[in-house]
């Protein structure tokens, strides 16, 4: 009778499962936006738990910019087959054919075409009314105020000044045709929570997260994996560095970090020590102050 | 026990709210907490130092939390922002809410899930109207742990007198709201005094720095107690004849084998399994999300609820509520709205607006409508019943949101009031602080004896509610319910009556030993049987619920006296079976002469005194 108190991971898990079940109950065509990263992996485990002994009742939607790491794509295809879920892959082929890449267009224009536009097109094409994403509020300042059910108008845009109040565990999921919501069941998780959960649940993640000696391009403080004919800049040189990815994006825009953490427990330990933000090695957040918020207003996830 | 649910966790989760008027130093305090507890990554820290220098400071903690671009431009916080940090003991979620009156709705949002509120006061300004509003809002939403952070103590030379003055003026206002725990901390958020470390500049302050308070305050546990409420979220049907009910426990405990009643069908069955994914659970309690299977196929779907069978389940389509209006369009009396409660959405209207509340003075004012940020006491009617409890008993089944069916926006939130109101100023301010920490209270058996119809159950239920509202572990053993359950085989002979009392006494003893306040209401007519139980339990308080036989017979709430007079019932206490009143009861309630409230207050006061 005395110790009826949940651990923080159990409390977070329970909240996320409740959210996923609400989405299932209140929307007609939800989909999980599957990014292949660690947060997506946790999301899938939560969805498995939420609907067991049934199957995950949502398709997975992956926006493929074609600049993803090879290991990510392999991991994605294997996982979808194992879970028996429907995987929808969408690419903005038009833009790719026109030669869109971050060097030609700059990172923000490239993201706008290959991620934001591709996502909005895919949601419209699939008539998805609730897109479930793995974003966390601790990732970036502008996310701190985002709701768990985040309303988007018929152009997919977010209005930070006009959000629906969200109280207790009561989510208002009512929308008109053409409108949609983004749902963030992991809102209250931190990066450390995610890794602790991966450890506890033994959730498989892409091997790129684990440190090993890799041949990389060293560019000042940055360490970049040479995939997709990464263009060289003055001063770049190749080196073998023990490193890992902290967050996974496109090859051109995600750097690796120097690290010895080659197992999940080692990563958890590293994070407890570590005092760097997770997105620091992502180039996109830095190209403009407050840039993530601008992207979000335009419909970036 | 399953491997994936840890029952003896090293770290738990505390949700807290921060509120204060503009410029009291809220952003500074949060920045300070994040900074000093080591939650800030190096690169963010560097950015804050850089921005601080640009503004001519060395380090300005308030820059840590600046959020949206629009706000940065206006220089104010306009929405709830959530922040995260952890120490070795706990993970914390801060709901950082704006101070302006026009954003009260944001504070309401943040307060709905918080276990504790930190209210900021500028030591130079003292208690402002705003502070009162913040305090009342926190109270209304059920937060019973409050930390008053008296900030900017550096600007008043860390003067103890200033601290004491603000504290006493605050207590004047807060007394009647009966907080479980009020703590006052003298602080300088800017310079870090008493935030994460005890300050040397306040040697007269004997309390803990803020962070220690946050690490040690008990989190909300009371939901594990109380009656079972399991709102069904989904029915999962992996195959034709397998049905699994998915949901999050709102209160009470669900256990394999227990008898449950489904609402609204009122069908009874037993729980077969409680599980989550591949883990079989021996029990589940709030706020666990689980799946449940039942012994029989019954009519049950989303929006329905599973309850225990110990008490009459709650069901209502007309109830009183406090509505907090959140929309620029004022409330339309009798207009059609949607109400979302637990997992069901129904049509509703506001059938009566009793008054609105001036949140600054707590005065009730006549009103024709409610506009943005106003609070009103209303009667709500729903087109089909909802399964609700008063909010102070159960936050989940006691709350709802109101949705505009055309705009789809959330226009109001409501809490179902039952009878709870702030006690008048002349009430019992001593009650407010007499129980400072729920976790530490002792157990006690409170034995209410008296004739049928004397008022035992009424007093018992009201006391139960008062206990729950204070976060005290409490359980109720009602004679009638006991007879329907584990004394089902007993009649009303002297032996059987004595045996019944012995059984109740045995269970009450177990509960008392486990530090539960156990409220027994049973006629228990024989002195010797009661005294035997008293001797066994030790921590025992006898309440003689006394009304003259004629009064009880006239009340006859269950029609038993009439049936006894007609000879349908034999051996009826007071008629043809003796009632032996206690010789020296700890408390006597003359229910024919005093009001229910008088009786309840007496009992509550005695309990609080006995369990400290
Ligand atoms: N001297 C002093 N100034 C403070 C303290 N806390 C905050 N301030 C200042 O008060 C002003 C308002 O603080 P801020 O945190 O932005 O207030 P908010 O509007 O409540 O978020 C800023 O100039 C702070 O530097 C304190 O403890 N002592």
What is chain B's length?
Answer: 612
CA angle at residue B28 from B17 to B374, to 5 degrees?
40
Taking an 8 Å cut-off on Cβ atoms, the answer to whether B82 and A145 are in contact is yes
- Angstroms from B590 CA to nearest CA on chain A: 35
Decide: helix, strand or coil at residue B531: helix
Question: Are the Cβ atoms of A166 and B244 closer than 8 angstroms?
Answer: no
Instruction: Using CA coordinates, name the residue in chain A closest to B72.
Output: A290
Contact B236 A54 (CB under 8 A): yes
For residue B522, with 0-12 CB atoms within 10 Å meaning exposed, 13-18 middle and 19 or more buried, which class applies? buried
Q: Where are the alpha helices (DSSP H) in B177-217?
A: 210-216
Query: Which 77-116 residues of chain A touch chain B by CB within 8 A?
Result: none
Any CB–CB contact under 8 A between A169 and chain B? yes
Mean pLDDT, residues A6-32 taken together: 95
Residues B584, B589, B591, B594, Cα dihedral to 10°: 130
- pLDDT for A106 equals 77
Contact B474, B467 (CB under 8 A): yes
Distances (CA, A) of A215 to A156, A242, B196, B424: 40, 9, 44, 74
Of A8, A52, A142, the CB nearest to B11: A8
Phi, psi dihedrals of residue B375, rounded to the nearest 5°: -115, 130
Give me the torsion for CA of A122, A278, B17, B210, rounded to 10°.
170
Predicted pLDDT at B78: 64
Q: Among A26-30, A228-232, B168-172, B476-480, name the one with the lowest average pLDDT.
A: A228-232
- Going by alpha carbons, the residue nearest to atom 1 of ligand 1 is B152
Is B191:B36 a contact under the CB 8 Å cutoff? no
Catalytic site includes residue B409:
no
End-to-end CA distance of chain A: 44
Which residue's CA is the nearest one to ligand 1's atom 25?
B190
DSSP string, B74-113: HTS--S-EEEEEE-SSEEEEEEE---SGGGHHHHHHHHTT
Contact B592, B547 (CB under 8 A): yes
Q: What are the φ/ψ torsions at residue B522 (nearest 5 degrees)?
A: -155, 145
Answer whether A49 sits within 8 Å of B40, measured CB to CB: no
What SS3 string covers B369-409? CCCCCCEEEEEEEEEEEECCCCCCCCCCCCEEEEECCCCCC
Chain A residues within an 8 Å CB radius of B293: none
Interface contact A234, partner B, CB < 8 A: no
**What whole-number distance in Å separates Cα of residue B600 and Cα of residue A239?**
78
- For residues B608 and A121, give the distance between their C-alpha atoms in angstroms, rounded to a whole number: 63
Percentage of chain A exceeding pLDDT 90:
49
Residue with tokens 């994460």, as numbered in its chain = B196
Q: Residue A293: list chain B partners with CB under 8 A.
A: 68-69
- Residue A98 makes CB contacts below 8 A (sequence gap 6+) with none
- Give the pLDDT confidence of A108-131 residue by residue, as tens digits: 788 888 888 899 999 999 999 999
d(CA B409, CA B419): 30
Contact B246 A50 (CB under 8 A): yes
pLDDT at res. B220? 63
Contact B13 A6 (CB under 8 A): yes
Does the pLDDT at position A89 exceed 70? yes
Q: Decide if pLDDT at A161 tops 80.
A: no
- The tokens for B158 are 């860390």
* B145 CA: distance to closest CA in chain A (Å): 18
Q: Does A24 touch chain B (CB under 8 A)?
A: yes
Round the CA-based radius of gyration of chain A to a whole number and report it.
19
Please report the pLDDT score of residue A274 as a whole number: 67
pLDDT at B221: 54
Contact B281, B274 (CB under 8 A): yes
CA-to-CA separations, B36 to B39, B122, B151, B254, in angstroms, rounded: 8, 21, 17, 42
The residue behind tokens 């572990």 is B473
CB B181 within 8 A of CB B146: yes
Of B40, B41, B248, the CB nearest to A14: B248
Nearest residue of chain B to residue A54 (CA atoms): B238
Q: Do B221 and A170 count as a contact with CB atoms less than 8 A apart?
A: no
Q: B233 contacts in A (CB within 8 Å)?
A: 18, 21-22, 25
Compute the average pLDDT of residues A231-237: 80
Interface size, chain A vs chain B, as Cβ–Cβ contacts under 8 Å: 193
Task: Note whether B246 contacts A21, CB cutoff 8 Å.
Answer: yes
Q: In ligand 1, which atom is closest to the CA atom of B26?
A: 20
Q: How far is the CA of B29 from the centre of ligand 1 (A)?
A: 8
HSE-CB for B282 with a 13 A CA cutoff: 7
Nearest Cα residue in chain B from A198: B4
Residue A193, token pair as written in the block: 């929570």
Average pLDDT, chain A: 85
Cβ pair A160:B112 closer than 8 A: no
- Asked if the C-beta of A276 comes within 8 angstroms of chain B's C-beta atoms, the answer is yes
Closest residue, chain B, to A279 (C-alpha): B43
User: Using the 8-state DSSP alphabet, how is residue B586 labeled?
Assistant: S
Alpha-carbon distance A284 to B12, whole Å?
Answer: 35
Chain B residue whose CA is closest to A25: B234
- For residues B464 and B466, what is the distance between their CA atoms, to the nearest angstrom? 5
Of B63, B68, B226, B395, which to mutate for an interface test with A (greatest number of A Cβ within 10 Å)? B68
Mean pLDDT of A156-168: 80
Q: Provide the pLDDT for residue B607.
A: 93
**Residue A265 near residue A115, CB atoms below 8 Å:** no
By Cβ distance, the residue of A1, A3, A55 closest to B7 is A3
CA A240 to CA A235: how far, in whole Å?
16
Of the candidates B48, B20, B13, B55, the one whose C-alpha atom is nearest the C-alpha of residue B34 is: B48
- Please identify which of the residues B27, B62, B452, B524 carries the catalytic annotation: B524
Distance, in angstroms, between B233 CA and closest chain A CA? 7
Tens digit of pLDDT for each residue in A252-299?
Answer: 777 888 999 999 999 998 888 765 555 555 544 444 444 555 555 555
Tell which atom from ligand 1 comes closest to the C-alpha of B57: 25
Give the pLDDT band of residue A29 (cuts 50, 70, 90).
very high
ipTM of the complex in this document: 0.88
Task: List the single residue in A5, A22, A50 with the smallest CB-CB distance to B12.
Answer: A5
> Quick check: B292 and B245 in contact, CB under 8 A?
yes
- Cβ of B138 under 8 Å from any chain A Cβ? no
Average confidence (pLDDT) per 10 residues, chain B, 612 residues: 40 90 87 83 79 82 63 56 87 85 81 93 89 86 91 96 93 74 92 93 95 86 72 94 95 91 93 96 93 94 92 83 93 91 93 88 88 92 90 90 92 80 34 40 93 90 79 85 84 88 93 92 92 89 93 86 86 88 90 86 90 86
Ligand 1, CB within 6 Å, residue ranges: B 20, 22-28, 62, 151-152, 154-155, 188-190
Which residues of chain B does A164 touch, with a Cβ-Cβ cutoff of 8 Å?
Answer: 409-410
Substitution target in A145, A175, A177 with the highest count of B β-carbons within 10 Å is A145
- Are residues A34 and A119 in contact, defined by beta-carbon separation less than 8 angstroms? no
Distances (CA, A) of A109 to A270, A295, B14, B63: 34, 10, 41, 29
Least Cα separation, residue A98 to chain B (angstroms): 33
CA distance A5 to chain B (A): 7
Q: Which residues contact B347 (CB under 8 A, 6 or more apart)?
A: B336, B337, B338, B339, B382, B383
Contact A25 B338 (CB under 8 A): no
Q: What whole-number distance in Å separates Cα of residue B573 and Cα of residue B523? A: 8
């Amino acid at each position: 009778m005395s110790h009826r108190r949940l651990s923080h991971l159990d409390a977070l898990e329970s909240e996320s499962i409740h959210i996923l079940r609400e989405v299932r109950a209140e929307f007609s065509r939800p989909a999980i936006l599957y990014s292949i990263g660690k947060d997506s992996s946790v999301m899938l485990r939560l969805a498995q738990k939420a609907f067991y002994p049934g199957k995950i009742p949502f398709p997975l939607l992956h926006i493929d910019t074609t600049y993803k790491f090879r290991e990510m794509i392999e991991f994605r295809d294997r996982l979808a087959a194992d879970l028996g879920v429907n995987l929808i892959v969408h690419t903005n082929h038009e833009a790719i054919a026109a030669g869109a890449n971050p060097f030609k267009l700059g990172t923000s224009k490239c993201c706008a075409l290959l991620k934001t536009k591709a996502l909005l097109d895919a949601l419209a094409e699939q008539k998805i009314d609730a897109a479930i994403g793995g974003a966390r509020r601790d990732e970036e300042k502008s996310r701190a105020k985002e709701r768990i059910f985040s309303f988007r108008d018929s152009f997919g845009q977010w209005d930070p000044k006009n959000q629906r109040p969200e109280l207790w565990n009561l989510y208002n999921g009512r929308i008109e045709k053409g409108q949609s919501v983004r749902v963030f069941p992991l809102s209250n998780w931190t990066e450390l929570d995610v890794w602790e959960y991966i450890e506890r649940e033994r959730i498989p993640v892409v091997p790129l997260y684990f440190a090993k000696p890799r041949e990389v391009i060293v560019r000042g403080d940055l360490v970049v994996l040479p995939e997709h004919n990464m263009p060289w800049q003055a001063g770049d040189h190749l080196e073998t560095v023990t490193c890992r990815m902290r967050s996974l994006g496109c090859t051109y825009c995600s750097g690796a970090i120097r690290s010895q953490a080659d197992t999940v427990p080692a990563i958890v330990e590293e994070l407890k020590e570590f005092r760097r933000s997770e997105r620091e090695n992502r180039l996109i957040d830095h190209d403009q102050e407050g840039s993530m918020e601008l992207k979000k207003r335009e419909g970036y996830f | 026990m399953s491997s994936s649910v840890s029952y003896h966790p090293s770290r738990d989760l505390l949700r807290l709210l921060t509120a204060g008027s503009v410029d009291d130093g809220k952003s500074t305090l949060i920045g300070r907490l994040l900074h000093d507890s080591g939650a800030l990554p190096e690169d963010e820290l560097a950015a804050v130092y850089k921005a601080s220098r640009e503004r001519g400071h060395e380090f300005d903690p308030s820059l840590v939390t600046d959020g949206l671009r629009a706000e940065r431009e206006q220089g104010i916080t306009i929405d709830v922002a959530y922040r995260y940090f952890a120490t070795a003991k706990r993970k914390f979620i801060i709901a950082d809410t704006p101070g302006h009156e026009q954003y009260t709705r944001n504070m309401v949002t943040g307060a709905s899930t918080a276990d504790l509120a930190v209210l900021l006061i500028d030591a130079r300004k003292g208690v402002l109207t705003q502070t009162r509003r913040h305090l009342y809002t926190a109270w209304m939403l059920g937060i019973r742990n409050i930390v008053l952070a008296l900030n900017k103590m550096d600007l008043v030379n860390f003067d103890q007198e200033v601290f004491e003055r603000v504290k006493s003026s605050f207590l004047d206002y807060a007394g009647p709201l009966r907080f479980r725990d009020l703590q006052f901390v003298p602080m300088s958020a800017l310079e870090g005094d008493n935030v994460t470390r005890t300050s040397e500049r306040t040697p007269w302050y004997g309390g803990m720095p803020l962070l220690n308070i946050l690490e040690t305050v008990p989190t909300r546990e009371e939901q594990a107690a109380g009656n079972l409420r399991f709102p069904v979220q989904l029915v999962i049907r992996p195959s034709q004849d397998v049905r699994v009910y998915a949901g999050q426990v709102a209160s009470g405990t669900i256990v394999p084998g227990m008898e449950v009643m489904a609402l609204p069908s009122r069908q009874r069955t037993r729980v077969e399994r409680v599980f989550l994914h591949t883990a079989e659970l021996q029990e589940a309690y709030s706020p666990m999300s689980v799946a449940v299977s039942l012994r029989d196929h019954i009519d049950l779907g989303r929006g329905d609820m599973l309850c225990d069978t110990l008490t009459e389940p709650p069901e209502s389509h007309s109830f009183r509520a406090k509505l907090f209006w959140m929309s620029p369009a004022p409330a339309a009396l009798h207009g059609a709205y949607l109400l979302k409660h637990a997992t069901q959405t129904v049509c509703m209207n506001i059938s009566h607006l009793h008054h609105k509340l001036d949140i600054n003075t707590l005065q009730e004012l006549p009103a024709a409508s409610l506009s943005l940020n106003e609070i009103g006491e209303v009667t709500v009617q729903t087109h089909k019943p909802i399964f609700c409890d008063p909010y102070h008993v159960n936050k989940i089944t006691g709350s709802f949101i109101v949705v505009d069916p055309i705009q789809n926006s959330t226009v109001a939130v409501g809490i179902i009031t039952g009878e709870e109101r702030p006690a008048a100023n002349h009430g019992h301010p001593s009650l407010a602080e007499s129980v400072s920490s729920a976790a530490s209270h002792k157990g006690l058996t409170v034995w209410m004896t008296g004739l049928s119809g004397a008022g035992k159950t009424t007093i018992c239920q009201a006391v139960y509610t008062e206990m729950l509202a204070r976060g005290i572990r409490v359980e109720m053993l009602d004679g009638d319910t006991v007879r329907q359950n584990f004394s089902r085989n007993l009649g009303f002979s002297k032996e059987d009556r004595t045996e019944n009392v012995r059984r109740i006494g045995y269970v009450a003893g177990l509960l008392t030993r486990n530090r539960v306040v156990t409220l027994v209401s049973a006629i228990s007519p024989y002195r010797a049987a009661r005294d035997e139980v008293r001797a066994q339990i030790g921590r025992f308080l006898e309440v003689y619920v006394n009304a003259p036989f004629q009064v009880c017979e006239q009340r006859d709430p269950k029609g038993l006296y009439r049936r006894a007079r007609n000879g349908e019932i034999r051996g009826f206490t007071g008629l043809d079976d003796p009632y032996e009143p206690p010789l020296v009861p700890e408390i006597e309630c003359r229910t024919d002469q005093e009001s229910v409230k008088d009786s309840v207050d007496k009992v509550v006061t005695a309990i609080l005194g006995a369990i400290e």
